[in-house]
Structure 1
Amino acid sequence: MPKAKVYVYLKEGILDPQGKAVHRILKNMNFDQVGDVRVGKFITLDFENNLPDAEIGSQADEICRKLLANPVIEDYHFDIE
């Protein structure tokens, strides 16, 4: 079954309080080598077997634009498998 693996993340320059909290905890746990943390979303979309990759890509992009990502503060990309 073909899948689109979608990654949604905050745009550069947008404050990521969840990422900052994780980073602070990592520092407290002595993981000093971690320079920065950004938190995002990972979504898997399963498609019907008979759809060509071009159609899966088109639908995945539309789903991201209309539902999964807030275009004001988030970017996204996806991989088709």
Structure 2
Amino acid sequence: MKARVHVMLKTGVLDPQGEAVRHALGALGFDGVEAVRQGKVIELDLAETDPAKAEAEVKAMCEKLLANTVIERYEIALD
């Protein structure tokens, strides 16, 4: 089973990378971009075949390592 985890900074947390991308886009002529939030996508190949168990396992991975839950939120998608 495959799992995809989207990790983004929580609303209200300063995103200096996103701001740098927004500024660079403006410098390249893309003036209509008002804000950019940058995150990461983590793809996992899991041996688990039960969707409920796989989701619980990935959630534990996120809580322990993949996301800093103080400043980041995450979403899990299973394929």
TM-score bracket, normalised by the shorter chain, equals over 0.9
SS in 2 for 1:59: helix
CA separation in 1, counterparts of 2:45 and 2:68?
22
CA separation in 1, counterparts of 2:67 and 2:58?
11
CA separation in 1, counterparts of 2:44 and 2:25?
31
Residue 44 of structure 1 is matched in structure 2 by: 43
The Cα shift of 1:35 comes to 1.8
Alignment of structure 1 residues 1-81 onto 2, 5 Å: 2-48=1-47, 51-81=49-79
Percent of aligned positions that are identical:
46
Q: TM-score if structure 1 supplies the norm length?
A: 0.93
Q: TM-score if structure 2 supplies the norm length?
A: 0.95
| 1:23-68 alpha-carbon deviations (Å, 9 max, x no partner) | 00000111112221111111001011x5211111000111001101
SS in 1 for 2:8: strand
CA RMSD of aligned residues (A): 0.9
In structure 1, stretches of 5+ residues that fail to align are: none
